[in-house]
Structure 1
Amino acid sequence: MLISTLTLFRRAASASWLCPCVIGSKQHYCSSARKIRIRDALSSLETGSNIRIQGWVRSVRSQKNHLFLHVSDGSSLTPLQVVANSDLNTRGLTFGCAVDITGSLEKSPRQNQSVELQARHVEVVGECNPVDFPFKIKERHSLEYIRQFPHLRCRTNAFSSLLRIRSEAAAAVHSYFRDNGFVQIHTPIITSNDCEGAGELFQVEPAGNEHSLDKENPHFFSVPSYLTVSGQLHLEVMTGAFPSVYTFGPTFRAENSQSRRHLAEFYMVEAEISFTESLEDLIKLMEDLFKTSTEHLLSHCAEDVELFHKYVSPGHREKVDLILKRNFHVISYTEAIDILTRSSQQFIFKPEWGSDLQTEHEKFLVKHCGEVPVFVTDYPYDLKPFYARDNQDEPQHTAAAVDLLVPVVGELCGGSLREERPELLKTRLARAGLEDTYAWYLQLRQFGSVPHGGFGMGFERYLQCVLGVDNIKDTIPFARSSRSCLL
C-alpha cells in the first residue's frame, strides 16, 4: 500500500524522538509535547508525560553533571525545577531570561517538591543581562525598592503574588454580587457629574486642534466633562428598574496628595439596592461582602497571601482571622466623637462634633474596638453630599450615612441612604445652587422612585487591609498620584 508523503510527515511530527536536546535553537519540533502551566505541572500526577513550559528563570545552579533551573510563568508562586544535562550549550541561560522548555515530567527525589522536569529541549527565547537587571537572584527586595521599576516589578515574587491576589479578589467580588442577584452595570468613565461635590475632577477635552468645534461652545461633549469620581449616580438611575445593581471600575480624584492611602486613579466597588429604608441593610451587605470575598481569597490564594503575611506584614494574619471571626462594631458619629474626646491620645486634628473624622481618628477608633472593623453611622448632615437622606433629628441634624473603618487604612467603605423625598431633595439642591445641574436627578423621584441606598468600597484599600500593605501604591499595577505618572 502506498503511503502519502503528508501521512509520513504527520506520523513523524507526532513522534517524541523529534524533540532535539539543544539549547538556543530557534527551531522547535516538539509538537508531541503538551503545553502546560507550571501551576498545573506542580499538581500533576501524570509523571512520565511529555510537556512543554514557557516562562522565566528564577535561579540557575550548576553541578558537575547537571544544570538545575527554577522556572516561573506567573501562574504560581512556587517555581518548577528543571533538570538538564550539563553538557548542553548554556549560552544565554541566566537569571531573568525567558525560556521555552520541553521534557518529561518526573517524580522528584527531593522532599520539598513532588515533581521536576527532565529537560530534553531548552530554548532561550529572551536573554537577560544579570549585571544591569535591578533585581538580584538571592535578595528579597522591599516593596518600596521595586516601586522604582513599574515596568519590571511584576518579575519579583512579591509583586507577581500581589497581581494574582488582586485578580482573584476581583473575581471574588464579582462572584459575590452574582450569587446574590445583583446586576452589573458598566457606568461611564466620562461624565458631566461631580458626584462627591468636592471639585477634585480631571476635566476631559480633546488634545490638539483636529476637532472642529463650535467657537461658542468649545466643549467636545457640549458641556464640561470629567473623568468619573464615582458611578453612584448612574447606579441610582438603575434602581428605577432593578432591585440590586453594582459596578466595579476605575475612578479618578485630582487630589494633590502623596499619602499612603490615596491615588489619583483607583478602582471602586459600588453597589446600590432598592426598597430599603434602613442603614442596617447597607451595613449587613458591606460586612458580608468583606468577609465572603476575604474567605475566598484566603482559600484560593493561600500561598501568595502567606508570602505577604510572612515577609511584608508579619503577624497580620492573626488580625485578618480575628476580623473574620468577630461581628463588626456599630457606633454613631456622636459616640465616636465622645470616644475620641475622652481618650488621652494627642491628636493632630482636634476631634469635635461637626468636623469630619481624620485618618488618625479612624485608626484610633479601630484600635479602640480591638482591631475589629467598626461602622460609624449618622454623620452631621452638612458633612455629607446632597443625596444623603436627612434624618430630620433636630437639634443635631444628621444624615443616614455610614462609613466602614478597618485596620491599616481607616475608611474603607462609605455609603448612605439616598434622599427619595422630592421636596427635601429640591430644597437641598437649591441651597447648593445645583437645581439646574441635577434636574434629571430630581426628576427620577417623579417616576416610580423607591427608597434606596448604596455604598462604595476602595478596592486597593481593601487589599491593603487584607494583606497588611502600608502603601496603597503597592497594591495596583501602575500607580498614579500627584507628580507621578510613570509609563
Structure 2
Amino acid sequence: MFQGVVKRLCFAPNSSVSLYVRHFCKKSHRKLRISEAISSSSSSQLGVNITVQGWLRSVRPQKANIFLHVNDGSSLQSLQVVAGAELNNPLLTFGSAVEVSGVLKKSPHKTQPVELEADVIRVLGECNPVDFPFKIKKRHGLEYIRQFPHLRCRTNVFSSLLRIRSEATSAIHSYFKDNDFVQIHTPIITSNDCEGAGELFQVEPSSAHDGHFFSVPTFLTVSGQLHLEAMAGAFSKVYTFGPTFRAENSQSRRHLAEFYMVEAEISFTQSIEDLTKVMEDMFRSATEHVLAHCVEDVDLFHRHVTPGHRETVDGMLKKCFPVITYSEAVDILNRSSEQFAFPSDWGCDLKTEHEKYLVKHCGNVPVFVTDYPYDLKPFYARDNQDHPQHTAAAVDLLVPGVGELCGGSLREERLSVLRARLEELGLEDVNSWYLDLRRFGSVPHGGFGLGFERYLQCILGVDNIKDVIPFPRFSHSCVL
C-alpha cells in the first residue's frame, strides 16, 4: 500500500511534500557500477531499483523491445538492458553514453547472470556510429586501434589492458610494501644523466629566459637510480615507480620515448643473489596477483590476441629462473647453429636476438645473465677486478618474447675505484655529489630497474610496446 502511495505522490503536482517524495523516489534507485550489478545474481540486489551509467556496446532493437549492452569500464562483461521499444527515443546508438534506471532481475539466459529491466533511459552523450572508428560486433586488431589513442579505451581489448595495467601497478606497490621497502618520489627534472648514454630530453621554459632556468642544464630523467642511491644512505630498502624518458630515435617494437620504470635499491648487500631474489619474487608476486584478479581480462588476451601464451606464463611461474654468466651466454650463442645478424663475440653487447635465443635455450623461462664485461656497464657498476676477464657485478633478467626486462648491479661503493672510473670517463665534476655518498657512511649496496611496459608485454604476449601504454610516445609521434 505504501508503494502505491509513493508512486502516486511522485507524479502529484509540485508541493513541498511531492518534491520531497520525488527526491525519495530518485534516491531509491541505488547507483551501481556494472561489475557490482553483474555480481548481484545471488544477492539481495535482485528485484531492487538500480541506476547504471555507461556506454552502449551493442544495440538490438525489436518490434516490442530493445536490447542493450552497457559497459562502464569496471568489468569486461557488459550488463544487458531490456526495455520497451518506446524508450528508444531519442534513437539509441552504439557508443552513446547513457544512464539507465530500472529493476535488476535474474536473467533467463545461461550466458548472463542478471539483466536490467529498464523504465528510464537517458542519453548523456550522443555518438554517431557512422563516424565512430570502432564498429559494433567487430573485433579490431591492436594495430588498427593504435591509430586512435584518444578512443581506443572504448574497445574491449584495450579496456582490459588498462584494468590489467592498473592491477599490476597495485600488485608491485603491494610487493614492496609487504617487504618493507620505502617508496621514494624521485624527480622528473634532473641535472644528471644516470646512464651516461646522452639520450636526454633537455628541459627549458617556453618563454624567453636569461641563461638556464635552474642555472644548470636540466633534463627529463632517464632513471631514478642515483636519487635512490642517495636515499639508500639512510634507508636499507627503497624503491620508486614512475615515468622515465629516453630520446632514442627508434621505431622499434621494444622502445618508447616515455615509459614507466620500477626501480629498487638495497643497502648492506654484497651479493648479486640478493638482487635476483627480489627481481624474481616481485615478478612472481605481481604476475600471480594479476592472473588471480584479472581472470577475464587476461583470458581475453590469451584467447584472442596472443593464443597459446598462457602456457608460456604458467611455465615461467612453475620453474626457478636459471642463472648463467655472460661468458656462458656467449659460449651458448657461439655453439648454436642460429644465424645471428649481430656478432656474439666476448665483449659485444647482447642484442635482442641473442637474448631471445638464450631464453629459448634455457627452457623458455626467464633467465638471469650476470658478470658482464666491465666496459659495457655504466660508471656505477661494481668492478669485479677479475683480470684478464674484466667484468662488472651486473645482472640482466631476460624473459620470453621480450628479451631484457630488468637490469641491475651492485654499486661501486669504494671511493678510490669510483673516482678513478669517473675520471676515466670525464664525469667527475658533474658527479661530485655522488662521490659524497661514498665519503660519508657508504655501505655496499645494489639495485635494479624493471621496464613496466615490457613486463606487461611479457605476461600478455603483446608484441608491440605501444599497445600496453595508454598514450605511447616515440620519435615523430606525440599524439595528444
TM (norm. structure 1) is 0.94
Deviations 1:333-366 (A, max 9, x none): 0000000000000000010000100000000000
Point out where structure 1 has 5 or more consecutive residues left out of the alignment: 16-29
Q: Secondary structure at the match of 1:87?
A: helix
State the Cα distance separating 1:435 from its structure 2 match: 1.0
CA distance in structure 2 between the partners assigned to 1:408 and 1:105 by the alignment: 45
Match of 1:39 among 35, 53, 61: 35
Contact 1:363 1:405 in 2 (8 A): yes
Describe how 1:72-471 pairs up with structure 2 within 5 A. 72-209=71-208, 211=209, 213=210, 218-471=211-464
Deviations 1:358-382 (A, max 9, x none): 0000000001111111000000001
Contact 2:67 2:81 in 1 (8 A): yes
Task: Report what 1:57 is aligned to.
Answer: 56
Task: Report what 2:8 is aligned to.
Answer: none
State the Cα distance separating 1:447 from its structure 2 match: 1.1
State the Cα distance separating 1:92 from its structure 2 match: 3.1
Task: Report what 2:24 is aligned to.
Answer: 14
Deviations 1:406-432 (A, max 9, x none): 011100000000000111001101111
Contact 1:333 1:377 in 2 (8 A): yes
CA distance in structure 1 between the partners assigned to 2:17 and 2:175 by the alignment: 52
Deviations 1:14-73 (A, max 9, x none): 13xxxxxxxxxxxxxx33211110001100122011111110000011223211000000
CA distance in structure 2 between the partners assigned to 1:417 and 1:90 by the alignment: 67
Q: What RMSD over aligned residues (CA atoms) do the two structures have, in Å?
A: 1.1
State the Cα distance separating 1:10 from its structure 2 match: 2.0
Contact 2:51 2:100 in 1 (8 A): yes
Q: Secondary structure at the match of 2:102?
A: strand
State the Cα distance separating 1:86 from its structure 2 match: 1.3
Contact 1:268 1:459 in 2 (8 A): yes
CA distance in structure 2 between the partners assigned to 1:202 and 1:168 by the alignment: 30
State the Cα distance separating 1:6 from its structure 2 match: 4.3
State the Cα distance separating 1:445 from its structure 2 match: 0.9
Runs of 4 or more off by more than 6 Å in structure 1? none
Q: Secondary structure at the match of 2:265?
A: strand
State the Cα distance separating 1:151 from its structure 2 match: 1.0
CA distance in structure 2 between the partners assigned to 1:286 and 1:203 by the alignment: 31
State the Cα distance separating 1:165 from its structure 2 match: 0.5
Task: Report what 2:3 is aligned to.
Answer: none
Q: Does 1:71 align with 2:64?
A: no
Q: Secondary structure at the match of 1:306?
A: helix
Q: Secondary structure at the match of 2:439?
A: coil
Letter in 2 for 1:247: T
CA distance in structure 2 between the partners assigned to 1:392 and 1:257 by the alignment: 35
CA distance in structure 1 between the partners assigned to 2:265 and 2:117 by the alignment: 54
CA distance in structure 2 between the partners assigned to 1:249 and 1:448 by the alignment: 28
Q: Secondary structure at the match of 2:457?
A: helix
CA distance in structure 2 between the partners assigned to 1:375 and 1:168 by the alignment: 26
Letter in 2 for 1:377: T
State the Cα distance separating 1:307 from its structure 2 match: 0.4
CA distance in structure 1 between the partners assigned to 2:420 and 2:78 by the alignment: 63
State the Cα distance separating 1:324 from its structure 2 match: 0.4
Contact 2:66 2:88 in 1 (8 A): no
Q: Secondary structure at the match of 2:27?
A: coil
Contact 1:92 1:124 in 2 (8 A): no
CA distance in structure 2 between the partners assigned to 1:271 and 1:403 by the alignment: 14
Q: Secondary structure at the match of 1:246?
A: strand
Contact 1:202 1:254 in 2 (8 A): yes
Contact 2:87 2:120 in 1 (8 A): no
CA distance in structure 2 between the partners assigned to 1:413 and 1:283 by the alignment: 10
CA distance in structure 1 between the partners assigned to 2:22 and 2:263 by the alignment: 57
TM (norm. structure 2) is 0.95
Q: Secondary structure at the match of 1:415?
A: strand
Q: Secondary structure at the match of 2:83?
A: strand
State the Cα distance separating 1:8 from its structure 2 match: 5.2
Deviations 1:110-130 (A, max 9, x none): 001111101010011111111
Q: Secondary structure at the match of 1:173?
A: helix
CA distance in structure 2 between the partners assigned to 1:349 and 1:8 by the alignment: 80
Contact 2:381 2:411 in 1 (8 A): yes
CA distance in structure 2 between the partners assigned to 1:468 and 1:311 by the alignment: 11
CA distance in structure 2 between the partners assigned to 1:200 and 1:89 by the alignment: 56
Sort the Cα spacing of 1:448 and 1:6 in 2 relative to 1 into closer, same or farther, 3 A.
farther
